[in-house]
């Protein structure tokens, strides 16, 4: 057996696109029997340095998280109307599944490795304490893969 390409096989997130994160977060909270979690907004272009298909984009999203196991969250995502992988998939496919995520080390090297393996970089950005990247893994994994890298404390 070889090493995992990402250095991990531990799923950390299932991302779900929604039109209205306030309503969806309440519906999930009711379903899971928990209080409605806080809604976060991703950073501005200046803060997040968001790139979609290689170009800067003003795109931001609102997010809500639900723990569904010791290592895994469901992430609800309401994108704004600027260009992003979130907006495109919501427009083209409607509400529902967007990505699965794994926590990795060494983002830039991993971006290069996945691109070489035929999983092109779709979007990337910074968040407080780390950064993310979405890669198109439809040809092999039949989904979008998100990498999350958290700075060492």
CB of 51 to its own copies, least distance (A): 24
Closest among 146, 97, 103, 89 to 121, alpha carbons compared: 146
CB of 72 to its own copies, least distance (A): 5
CB of 32 to its own copies, least distance (A): 5
Nearer to its own copies, 6 or 148 (CB): 6
Helix (H, G, I), strand (E, B) or coil at 46: helix
Distance CA 87, CA 81 (A): 6
Residue 127 vs residues 9, 42, 130, 132, 137: alpha-carbon distances, Å: 23, 7, 5, 8, 23
Nearer to its own copies, 14 or 45 (CB): 14
Binding site for its own copies (CB under 8 A): 1-6, 9-11, 14, 16-18, 24, 27-28, 30-35, 66-72, 74, 93, 95-97, 100, 137-138, 140-143
Nearer to its own copies, 48 or 145 (CB): 145
CB of 127 to its own copies, least distance (A): 22
Locate 35 and state its tokens. 């209080």
Nearer to its own copies, 57 or 111 (CB): 111
Report which secondary-structure segment, H or E, holds 47.
helix 45-48
């Amino acid at each position: 057996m070889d090493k995992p390409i990402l250095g991990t096989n531990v799923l950390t997130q299932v991302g779900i696109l929604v039109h209205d994160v306030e309503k969806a977060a309440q519906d999930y909270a009711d379903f899971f029997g928990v209080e409605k979690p806080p809604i976060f907004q991703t950073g501005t272009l200046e803060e997040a340095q968001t790139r979609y298909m290689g170009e800067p984009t003003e795109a931001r999203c609102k997010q809500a998280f639900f723990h569904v196991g010791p290592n895994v969250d469901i992430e609800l995502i309401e994108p704004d109307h600027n260009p992003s992988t979130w907006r495109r998939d919501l427009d083209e496919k409607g509400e529902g599944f967007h990505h699965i995520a794994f926590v990795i080390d060494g983002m830039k090297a991993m971006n290069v490795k996945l691109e070489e393996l035929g999983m092109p970089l779709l979007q990337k950005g910074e968040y407080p304490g780390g950064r993310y990247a979405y890669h198109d893994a439809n040809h092999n994994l039949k989904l979008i893969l998100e990498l999350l890298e958290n700075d060492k404390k």
